[in-house]
Amino acid sequence: MQPIIECVPNFSEGNDLNIIKQITDQIETVEGVRLLNVDPGKATNRTVVTFVGHPEAVIEAAFLAIKKAGELIDMSKHKGEHPRMGATDVCPLIPIANISMEETAKYAQQLAKRVGEELALPVYLYEAAQPNKERNNLSVIRAGEYEGFFKKIKLPEWKPDFGPAVFDAKRGGTVIGARDFLVAYNINLNTTSTRRANAIAFDVREAGRKIKNEQGEDIVQPGTLKSVKAIGWFIEEYGVAQISMNLTNINVTPVHIAFDEVCKKADARGIRVTGSELVGLVPLNSLLEAGRYFLKKQKRSTGVTEKELIKIAVKSMGLDELGPFKPEERIIEYMLYNKADSKLVSMTLTDFADETASESPAPGGGSISAYVGALGISLATMVANLSSHKKGWDDRWEEFSTWAEVGEKYKNELVKLVDADTKAFNLIMTAFSLPKSTEEEKITRKTAIQEATKFAIEIPFKVMQAAFSSMDVIKAMAEIGNPNSVSDAGVGALCARSAVMGAFMNVRINAAGYEDKNFVDEIIAKGREIENKTLALEAQILKVVNDKIGV
Using CA atoms, how far apart are residues 251 and 227, in angstroms rounded to an integer? 9
Strand, coil or helix: 16: coil
pLDDT per residue over 329-375, tens digit each? Answer: 888 888 777 777 788 998 999 999 999 999 888 899 999 999 999 99
CA 65 to each of CA 44, 56, 233, 280: distance values in angstroms, whole numbers, following the listed order: 20, 14, 28, 17
| Span between the terminal Cα atoms of the chain, in Å | 56
Mean pLDDT, rounded, for 273-289: 91
Strand, coil or helix: 121: coil
Mean pLDDT, rounded, for 246-270: 95
pLDDT per residue over 522-548, tens digit each? Answer: 999 999 999 999 999 999 999 999 999
Question: Which pLDDT score is estimated for 385?
Answer: 96
Whether pLDDT at 72 is above 70 = yes
Using CA atoms, how far apart are residues 382 and 325, in angstroms rounded to an integer? 28
Write the CB contacts of 477 (distance below 8 Å, at least 6 apart in sequence): 380, 383, 384, 387, 403, 485, 488, 489, 492
Using CA atoms, how far apart are residues 86 and 522, in angstroms rounded to an integer? 62
Question: Which pLDDT score is estimated for 289?
Answer: 96
pLDDT per residue over 164-220, tens digit each? Answer: 998 889 999 999 999 988 899 999 999 999 999 999 999 999 999 988 888 888 888
Whether pLDDT at 65 is above 90 = yes
pLDDT per residue over 205-249, tens digit each? Answer: 999 998 888 888 888 899 999 999 999 999 988 899 999 999 988
Q: Do the bridges between strand 88-97 and strand 174-178 make them parallel or antiparallel, or are there none, so unpaired?
A: parallel
Identity of the amino acid at 128 = A
Write the CB contacts of 373 (distance below 8 Å, at least 6 apart in sequence): 414, 463, 466, 467, 470, 495, 496, 498, 499, 500, 503
Using CA atoms, how far apart are residues 479 and 486, in angstroms rounded to an integer? 8
Question: Which pLDDT score is estimated for 244?
Answer: 95
E strand spans, 120-267: 123-127, 174-178, 183-189, 209-212, 218-221, 228-235, 240-247
In the chain, the domains with their CATH numbers are: 4-178 (3.30.990.10), 183-336 (3.30.70.670), 342-549 (1.20.120.680)
Q: Which residues of 239-254 are buried (b: 16+ CB within 10 A; e: fewer)?
A: ebbbbbbbbbebeebb
Whether pLDDT at 280 is above 90 = no
Task: Name the least confident of 15-29, 88-102, 468-482.
Answer: 88-102
Q: Do the bridges between strand 240-247 and strand 228-235 make them parallel or antiparallel, or are there none, so unpaired?
A: antiparallel
Which residue numbers are catalytic? 82, 421
Question: Which pLDDT score is estimated for 491?
Answer: 98
Whether pLDDT at 1 is above 70 = no
Average pLDDT over the chain, rounded to whole?
A: 93
Q: φ and ψ at 121, to 5 degrees?
A: -115, 135
